[in-house]
């Protein structure tokens, strides 16, 4: 009889996307269940994945809201205990965020194995709290900032985990950057006004010098404004939202401007697309900057800090990248080295064997 696994996720796309990747890897060997909160359900293909919506309280240290938060947490833990017992779950996988807390506490009460997942270079606060309850934690590096030394032995280092469909796109032939600049602009699942408003001025500057095709992930509030901008300036473009399959655009791109969420950077690296990272300056514990610095250290990207960002700096950097082919090609080669061992089978075997350990 197959073991039963519950994957608990929600919140932002950065939590939900890895959860769907784990689902893809595990569904053939285990009976897999998937739970999300309402917020997280916006970032999943509802035609492809079966899931249940289970609300979880946002945890806060606000003194006034603390009693209500505590009561809500207790209710969520009791609901989680009922769910885990009813589904006869053997293993719980939490992909981070406040959504995983009630299920992890409930799993510990029921003596169910708990596996956490941390994709960032700074351990998330929920994961840090839950480490003491967990069996193991999947992650990409043994140099995660703020990771408690006493739990180092719980780390399972894996290659970057992706949804299965990404491997169908990886052998595409890209246009060389000197013939046409296929620029991908990715603001992330939580939106980024700077990507909808500020970056377009640099794109306009570039369009006067080079042939461009822009693939722009836009927030719904600025979709029509960007549509008008590109049409007015006769710039070839494709606008898309977070719900669409981003792989079809990454595979065409030969350069990207992006936030520094772990999932997005992993996907750009896998497709060997050199990128300019503009980390979100309000990201918890500055984890987006640390994510970007890891790629910069490996010679894979350029970084522009948001507090230092302006149109002239971005335009100058873009022109320098396009004109200085050696630097661009060096980063592209480094990305290939960064991901050369990342195959479906390698990750699949590592994850499944880890979950099957006694």
pLDDT bucket at 195, cuts 50 / 70 / 90: low
When pLDDT is averaged across residues 70-95 and rounded to a whole number, the result is 94
pTM: 0.92
More confident call, 285 vs 177: 285
**Cβ–Cβ < 8 Å for 306, 278:** yes
The CATH classification number of 167-338 equals 3.40.50.2000
The predicted structure's pLDDT at residue 244 = 63
Per-residue pLDDT tens digits for 280-310: 998 999 999 999 999 999 999 999 998 888 8
Give the contacts of 347 (CB within 8 A, at least 6 positions apart). Answer: 25, 158, 159, 161, 162
The chain-wide mean pLDDT, for the chain, equals: 90
The CATH classification number of 4-162+342-355 equals 3.40.50.2000
When pLDDT is averaged across residues 311-317 and rounded to a whole number, the result is 92
Alpha helices (H) along the chain: 13-26, 66-87, 100-109, 125-130, 193-197, 199-207, 223-232, 247-250, 262-270, 287-297, 311-323, 325-338, 344-355
The predicted structure's pLDDT at residue 189 = 56
Output DSSP code: residue 122: B
d(CA 297, CA 193): 28
Highest mean pLDDT among 57-61, 105-109, 178-182: 105-109
**Cβ–Cβ < 8 Å for 235, 207:** yes
d(CA 306, CA 277): 9
Nearest to 57 by CA among 48, 66, 49: 66
The predicted structure's pLDDT at residue 246 = 86
More confident call, 81 vs 55: 81
pLDDT reading at 106 higher than 80 = yes
**Cβ–Cβ < 8 Å for 48, 24:** no
Q: What percent of the chain has pLDDT over 70?
A: 92
CA atoms within 13 A on the CB side of 127: 31
The predicted structure's pLDDT at residue 301 = 97
When pLDDT is averaged across residues 234-256 and rounded to a whole number, the result is 88
The predicted structure's pLDDT at residue 241 = 83
The predicted structure's pLDDT at residue 308 = 84
Give the contacts of 203 (CB within 8 A, at least 6 positions apart). Answer: 183, 185, 212, 214, 235
In angstroms and rounded to an integer, the radius of gyration of the C-alpha atoms of the chain is 21
Domain ranges of the chain: 4-162+342-355, 167-338
């Amino acid at each position: 009889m197959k073991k039963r696994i519950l994957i608990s996720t929600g919140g932002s796309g950065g939590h939900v996307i890895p959860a769907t990747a784990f689902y893809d890897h595990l569904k053939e060997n285990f009976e897999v269940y998937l739970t999300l909160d309402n917020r997280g359900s916006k970032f999943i293909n509802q035609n492809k994945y079966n899931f249940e919506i289970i609300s979880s309280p946002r945890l806060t240290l606000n003194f006034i809201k603390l009693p209500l938060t505590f009561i809500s947490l207790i209710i969520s833990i009791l609901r989680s205990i009922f769910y885990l017992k009813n589904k006869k779950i053997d293993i719980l996988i939490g992909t981070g965020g406040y959504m995983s807390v009630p299920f992890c506490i409930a799993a510990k009460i029921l003596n169910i194995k708990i596996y956490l997942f941390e994709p960032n270079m700074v351990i998330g606060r929920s994961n840090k709290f839950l480490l003491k309850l967990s069996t193991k934690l999947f992650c990409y590096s043994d140099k995660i900032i703020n990771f408690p030394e006493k739990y180092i032995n719980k780390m399972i280092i894996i290659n970057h985990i992706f949804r299965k469909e990404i491997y169908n796109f990886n052998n595409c032939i890209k246009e060389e950057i000197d013939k046409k600049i296929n620029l991908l602009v990715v603001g992330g699942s939580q939106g980024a006004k700077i990507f909808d408003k500020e970056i377009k001025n640099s794109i306009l500057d570039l369009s006067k010098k080079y042939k461009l095709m822009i693939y722009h992930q836009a927030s719904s509030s600025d979709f029509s404004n960007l549509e008008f901008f590109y049409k007015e300036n006769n710039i070839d473009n494709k606008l898309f939202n977070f719900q669409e399959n981003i792989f079809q655009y990454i595979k065409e791109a030969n350069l990207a401007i992006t936030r520094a969420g772990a999932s997005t950077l992993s996907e750009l690296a896998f497709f060997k697309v050199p990128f300019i990272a503009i980390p979100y300056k309000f990201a918890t514990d500055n984890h987006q900057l640390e994510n970007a610095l890891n790629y910069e250290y490996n010679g894979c990207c350029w970084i522009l800090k948001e507090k230092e960002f302006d149109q002239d700096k971005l335009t100058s950097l873009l022109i320098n990248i396009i004109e200085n082919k050696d630097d661009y090609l060096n980063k592209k080669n480094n990305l290939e080295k960064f991901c050369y061992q990342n195959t479906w089978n390698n990750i699949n075997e590592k994850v499944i064997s880890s979950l099957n350990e006694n």
